[in-house]
Structure 1
């Protein structure tokens, strides 16, 4: 019998909860880390600063189910937007289960063309980076409420 208890859903979402943060700006990483540590203390944060580091880590994690993050926060400018677009495409072309990880693009760009392109390429959400720490904190409290306490995240399964 399956439980419809919302608390069991939350507990399941937090099991092996990890977020991969792909952010090349040290100041933005500091804000992200501090806000996320306050909003999501149960979640392990792993940061990489370059697309090469991200792909290396994702390739290593491919056969380690317990290491695969539940969510990726991807900065669009790594340092150019072309780097972010290329990385997004590479992740989406990886074999399952890596290509199924939810990706939230976090960018300073408010350009409507960037937002449209991000969704066309498969991001789950697009967030414009806030300018104050209180706004960063609000973003990650909302991220917690939605991604960990509201939705049912799929289990990680390998396809052979």
Structure 2
């Protein structure tokens, strides 16, 4: 059980308020995993490839799960997802889209690109906590993840 807790969660979201709410919801759900945040798709790819300010792989370890917003500046979540799933080293990392989008086109396109799950961001904090509890139970207690 302790091994499952060591999985790093990387959250890509450009909205500072959403990042704070997700962080608070994860704390509220008593998730023990380390959480790292990036603010756009370019930072996400820099983190995953250990480039620039993310060059230190001890400080910025490869995540076991990525929570991905779709609508971000510089490089959006769709572009980043396409790059992740095209990379042999990164494609095994489960990616969960967590976005305000409810567009059927986004749902279909992201699943076509290889997303593991698509979740529309809940509007209340209580609902977000419930989603984070369910996510953490599913990804860290039920599912067997590949060792990366």
TM-score exceeds 0.5: yes
Larger radius of gyration: 1
Of 37, 40, 44, which aligns to 1:50?
A: 40
Displacement of 1:63: 10
How many residue pairs are counted as aligned between the two chains?
A: 144
The within-5 A match list for 1:2-17 is 10-14=1-5, 16-17=6-7
The corresponding residue for 2:15 is 25
Partner of 1:135: 127
| Alignment match, 1:3 | none
Asked if residue 88 in structure 1 is aligned to residue 81 in structure 2, the reply is yes
Q: Does 1:116 align with 2:95?
A: no
Identify which of 64, 68, 75 aligns with 1:70. 64
RMSD between superposed Cα atoms in Å: 2.2
Question: For the Cα contact (< 8 Å) 1:13–1:152, is it kept in 2?
Answer: no
Q: CA deviation at 1:111?
A: 1.2
More helix by share: 1
Q: Which 4+ runs in 1 deviate beyond 3 A?
A: 61-66
- What TM-score results when the alignment is normalised by the length of structure 2? 0.88
Q: Shift in Å at residue 144 of structure 1?
A: 1.2
Give how far 1:30 is off.
0.9
Q: Distance in 2 between matches of 1:73 and 1:121?
A: 15
Is 2:143 aligned against 1:151?
yes
Q: What runs of 5+ residues in structure 1 fail to find an aligned partner?
A: 1-9
